[in-house]
């Protein structure tokens, strides 16, 4: 199956730059995701490109009712205007299923009912590498099971990240045969994101560093589905001054819809694009216009994390 870019939704040509912000509606927008939204917005708008919003709401367990609307209202209050209609992944199950079938037709998919604890290894952090137990089973499981991608024939991928330089990963070694369709009946993030980035004609993925190590999996799926590969730029993560991850503290703090000017000025400072003093309290739209005109990815080259200053 060819899931090559389809631009009929917006009627534009494939040469236009198109970025996206793809939040999971697991709660209110927080500083880390606002930073990703602003970075991808500036990157697209500076090139005169389009910027779209996609709500990644396929993870039923993590989706919080009302969170998607709250995120959209927050983006609006920050002057982050998107193009076209918001795409909700929960409406796209047929497309993900078609992609799964296309991979199955290539003999690359197999059923797996292993419990996660059965293969959690002593490896350091991140995901456990799945060792491929179920690859050769002759009878498919009769109980709930996941579908995995056979990665044995995958080449190592080197991502030429626009900010972080080259990042190389051998998917088979690093993560093994990863899940395409989950045991609970829902498509996995890796599959859905690849299908939708292609469907929406995304030319530039700009998102947080926490997703850099997911990118080779996505490049592999793009190749297997004959989808074009977007360019990638991974933005630095916010860290506490003591160097700890902000996931449970500042980065995770919900951002207010009021005080948008002050918060946006702070986000732009974190992105190494400080505003001139006279714009510190200007309307978010004005602040963004300045930042769009001055956006320069070189300022973030090789920056993997940013320590959040006191106050």
| Angstrom distance (rounded) from CA 60 to CA 90 | 9
Query: Contact 181/191 with Cβ under 8 angstroms?
Result: yes
Strands (E), the chain: 18-21, 50-55, 87-88, 109-112, 146-149, 157-161, 165-169, 179-181, 204-208, 231-235, 237-239, 305-307
Which partner, Zn ion, ligand GLU, none, binds residue 114 by CB below 5 to 8 Å per kind?
Zn ion
- Which range in 31-39, 126-134, 174-182, 283-291 contacts Zn ion by CB under 5 A? 126-134
Residue of 1, 16, 47, 114 interacting with Zn ion (CB under 5 A): 114
Known catalytic membership, residue 257: no
Residue of 207, 219, 224, 234 interacting with ligand GLU (CB under 6 A): 207
Residue of 18, 19, 22, 45 interacting with ligand GLU (CB under 6 A): 22
Min. distance of Cβ 211 from ligand GLU in angstroms?
A: 5
Q: Report if residue 229 touches ligand GLU, rule: CB under 6 A.
A: no
Q: Report if residue 67 touches ligand GLU, rule: CB under 6 A.
A: no
Residue of 24, 251, 261, 263 interacting with ligand GLU (CB under 6 A): 24
Query: Contact 285/56 with Cβ under 8 angstroms?
Result: no
Q: Report if residue 211 touches ligand GLU, rule: CB under 6 A.
A: yes
Min. distance of Cβ 307 from ligand GLU in angstroms?
A: 22
Which partner, ligand GLU, Zn ion, none, binds residue 133 by CB below 5 to 8 Å per kind?
Zn ion
Q: Residues touching Zn ion: how many (CB under 5 A)? A: 4
Task: Take residue 296 and report the two structure tokens written for it.
Answer: 């320069």
Min. distance of Cβ 141 from ligand GLU in angstroms?
A: 29
Choose between 114 and 252: whose C-beta lies nearer to Zn ion. Answer: 114
Residues whose CB is less than 8 angstroms from the CB of residue 71 and which lie 6 or more positions away in sequence, other chains included: 23, 25, 28, 29, 55
Residues whose CB is less than 8 angstroms from the CB of residue 33 and which lie 6 or more positions away in sequence, other chains included: 23, 208
Residue 82: DSSP 8-state: P
Residues facing residue 20 across a β-bridge: 52
Min. distance of Cβ 45 from ligand GLU in angstroms?
A: 18
| Angstrom distance (rounded) from CA 20 to CA 207 | 9
Among residues 17, 183, 245, 248, the one annotated as catalytic is 248
Interacting residue ranges for ligand GLU, rule: CB under 6 A? 22-24, 56, 193, 207, 211
Q: Which sequence positions are flagged as catalytic? A: 248
């Amino acid at each position: 199956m060819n899931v090559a870019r389809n631009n009929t939704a917006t009627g534009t040509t494939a040469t236009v730059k198109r970025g996206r912000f793809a939040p999971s509606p697991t709660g209110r927008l927080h500083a880390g995701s606002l930073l990703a939204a602003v970075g991808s917005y500036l990157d697209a708008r500076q090139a005169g490109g389009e910027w779209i919003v996609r709500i990644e709401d396929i993870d039923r367990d993590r989706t919080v009712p009302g969170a998607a609307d709250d995120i959209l209202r927050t983006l609006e209050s920050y002057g982050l205007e998107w193009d076209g209609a918001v795409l909700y992944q929960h409406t796209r199950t047929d497309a993900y299923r078609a992609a799964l079938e296309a991979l199955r037709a290539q003999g690359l998919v197999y059923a797996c009912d292993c419990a996660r604890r059965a293969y959690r290894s002593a490896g350091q952090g991140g995901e456990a590498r799945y060792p491929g137990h179920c690859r050769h089973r002759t009878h498919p499981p009769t109980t709930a099971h996941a579908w995995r991608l056979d990665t044995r024939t995958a080449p190592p991928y080197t991502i030429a990240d626009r900010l972080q330089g080259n990042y190389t990963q051998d998917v088979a070694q690093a993560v093994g045969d990863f899940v395409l369709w989950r045991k609970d009946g829902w498509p996995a993030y890796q599959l859905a994101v690849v299908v939708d980035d292609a469907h929406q004609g995304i030319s530039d993925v700009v998102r947080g560093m926490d997703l850099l190590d997911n990118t080779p999996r996505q490049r592999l799926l793009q190749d297997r589905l004959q989808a074009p590969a977007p360019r990638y730029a991974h933005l630095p993560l916010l860290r506490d001054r003591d160097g700890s991850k902000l996931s449970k503290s500042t980065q995770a703090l919900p951002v207010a819809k009021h005080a948008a000017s002050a918060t946006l000025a702070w986000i732009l400072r974190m992105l190494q694009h400080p505003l001139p003093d006279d714009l510190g309290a200007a309307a978010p739209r004005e602040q963004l216009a300045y930042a769009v005109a001055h956006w320069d990815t070189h300022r973030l080259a090789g920056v993997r994390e940013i320590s959040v200053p006191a106050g």
